[in-house]
Amino acid sequence: MTVLVKIAFDGTNYRGFQIQNDAVTVFGTFQQALLRILGHETQIKGCSRTDSGVHAKCFYLSFDTPKQLDLRRLPLALNGNLPPDIRTLEAVQVPDGFHARYDAKGKEYTYYILNSHIDSPFFSGYYYKVAAALDVESMQQAAKNFVGKWDFSAFMSKNSSVTDFVRTVSYADVKKDGDMIKFVVRADGFLYNMVRIMAGTLVSVGRGQIKAEDIPRIIQGRDRSAAGPTAPAQGLFLTDVFY
């Protein structure tokens, strides 16, 4: 059977999702837990590569097994073999050959910015702190300009394997709740560091260093240096995956 597992993780203590030599990753940690339960090795496919320190409220993994697993009990069994910062939320059977990454139709990321000069005593490690007062309305207007089918080269860190830079952003919005500013973006796919560069650019807009109405020109210019800085990983959460 092919199984799709939904997990959530706090990325603070991991070097991202993917396998890396000599580094503790979410993937490696999950792989060990699954091996203990299945009793055999299997190729695990993750829905996304995530950077070191990035979090996920919703992340999917798929794998094949010749065994007939009781999928209602699998989350409990996995959680018993996982550290508290990785939790299995759900497991469902999917058609043979299903791939958590290639079958994903889109994803949603949420980036948290704490607009304060004082850190939160509660959510340390889950936001990017910006002390300078941010103009949230401008950030909101800027975010709207991300929506559409564009070549997002200007919002990508150098990365060897990708050759198609066109992505379709279906939703992008900025909301404020107290001191916390939340940037939510949905697309059919994301380039390397795309959300973090968008978030860094929105902070530049909020500080008045980039104008909201300049976003279309920055996209069209396809020049990374025209966009804002790459915001830190710790503010970034993968919050949904669409199949």
Whether 115 and 179 have beta carbons less than 8 Å apart is answered as yes
- Residue 63: phi, psi to the nearest 5? -155, 160
Name the residue type at position 179: D
Of 76-84, 153-161, 212-220, 222-230, the segment contacting a copy of itself by CB under 8 A is 76-84
Using left for φ > 0, alpha for ψ between -120 and 50, and beta otherwise, residue 35 falls in alpha
Nearest to 189 by CA among 48, 95, 65: 48
- Number of residues in the chain: 243
Which of the following is catalytic: 10, 22, 51, 164?
51
For position 118 contacting a copy of itself by CB under 8 A, the verdict is: yes
**Residue 120: CB minimum distance to a copy of itself, A:** 7
Binding to a copy of itself (CB under 8 A) within 46-65 occurs at 55, 57
For position 133 contacting a copy of itself by CB under 8 A, the verdict is: no
The count of chain residues that interact with a copy of itself, using the rule CB under 8 A, is 22
Smaller CB separation from a copy of itself, 130 or 227: 130
For position 95 contacting a copy of itself by CB under 8 A, the verdict is: no
- In the chain, the N- to C-terminal Cα span, in Å, equals 18
Active-site residue, 188 included: no
Residue bearing tokens 């759900």: 90
d(CA 134, CA 231): 15
d(CA 7, CA 27): 11
Smaller CB separation from a copy of itself, 57 or 224: 57
Residue bearing tokens 């002390």: 131
- For a copy of itself, the binding residue among 3, 4, 10, 152 (CB under 8 A) is 10
For position 8 contacting a copy of itself by CB under 8 A, the verdict is: yes
138 DSSP assignment: H
For position 119 contacting a copy of itself by CB under 8 A, the verdict is: yes
Smaller CB separation from a copy of itself, 88 or 140: 88
For position 124 contacting a copy of itself by CB under 8 A, the verdict is: yes
For position 120 contacting a copy of itself by CB under 8 A, the verdict is: yes
- For a copy of itself, the binding residue among 23, 76, 133, 162 (CB under 8 A) is 76
Q: Helices (DSSP H) in 15-100: which residue ranges?
A: 26-38, 74-80
212 DSSP assignment: G
Of 45-53, 81-89, 169-177, 193-201, the segment contacting a copy of itself by CB under 8 A is 81-89
**Residue 9: CB minimum distance to a copy of itself, A:** 5
CA 216 to chain centre: 23
- Residues with catalytic annotation? 51
List residues binding a copy of itself (CB under 8 A).
Answer: 8-10, 55, 57, 75-76, 79, 84-89, 117-122, 124, 126
